[in-house]
Structure 1
């Protein structure tokens, strides 16, 4: 057991260093390049195999998720693994139900393949897209609220609101570039039912994450791991840019609100990240 623990700690330390030494590349360069490729695909400037290449999209997404993975890695035990497994199962289940029945997010379909598809309907890489949305919202609320987040009612409402803000940025941008489409929608092509569906998913996620992780350890890790929310930085850069190009100004404004939350917690210092990278390089 001691040898296994030491090996795990070495791997976690190497992952921490790799992410810390490449923060600017991961949190800024990858989303900027990703936005450019997606916009070029949406406007017909790219031809196959680069146009909406699902494996390129999945690769870029995985890279941008590395800060979250590295940040959470030391906190993982059997309970955390079980909780994550439950959320993965929930994500696939609710998405399959949504595609088939239109509940709870509204009638929608994927209009491009985001990697291999489960039953030809849902991306196998769905957890890479779904889990960070709720994880980052949960972590940001813990960081911003501090001791106030110890009250479940406050924590639940705060995370639901944050998840909704994140999706207000994500869905209009995803619809604009052709990731998926809804059968009608009053908000940049997105129906109100989509956001009601996210209230359900956020509620489920809060209860599962409360069970899975020790909040004291989570907050300690958040305070000591500078890059732990860099995945949310890359999200703001990527989808804020895409929404701005399409003139989706409300989502752009919400992206700036999220950026403000990150700035307030000293997690969105792009200049500082860049200087750190140049120094370490």
Structure 2
């Protein structure tokens, strides 16, 4: 089983970058499943819209995950319960619209995708992601590959979570910080891990936003409106190969494309 996980897509520029490189990566790597984090995909970099989800699914993306900006576009409440391949963090409080896990039928086998969110420096009213993972994993059969998008701020929480589920899932991929890390590894019991996959969007930015406004906010400590940056682009993703028998990771390859530069990873 080969799975391509693409990092947080930011704004119109991120969607265009995804559109540019996705066909090339599909041709190059022939993944069995493609998962994309879309919580920043709307034009203003917050939330997602139905038209975006539909476009991505039509383009061959199998699952779209979300995060702390899941509700950034009001229209999401109108369709999130109807989109089987769109998931939000599973540890949102009980009664929250949508679901936190989906099971995909792919040519390589069944792939469960779970979306969870960390609590350190994030939303305070979240259920425990560790215990939520325990509950969800009990619902899955042993012949299922399992990928977790762990949307969190701190590297320590991401690492701790990966060690917690080592041997019980195929891979844990961190999202949210928008900066790709170089710590890909396979843990002792077979779970593949990357602290953060990075983002898809503007290269000359501060995590996707126009940098002058971000700097002004840090310098003045005043409220400043952020806008998605323009200009050069970056594309970040990670490719996993999972063993057919054990359902654990065999190989991890980081993917990074800065504009028309060669792939790095």
TM-score w.r.t. length of structure 2: 0.28
* Structure in which a larger fraction of residues adopt helix: 1
* Structure in which a larger fraction of residues adopt strand: 2
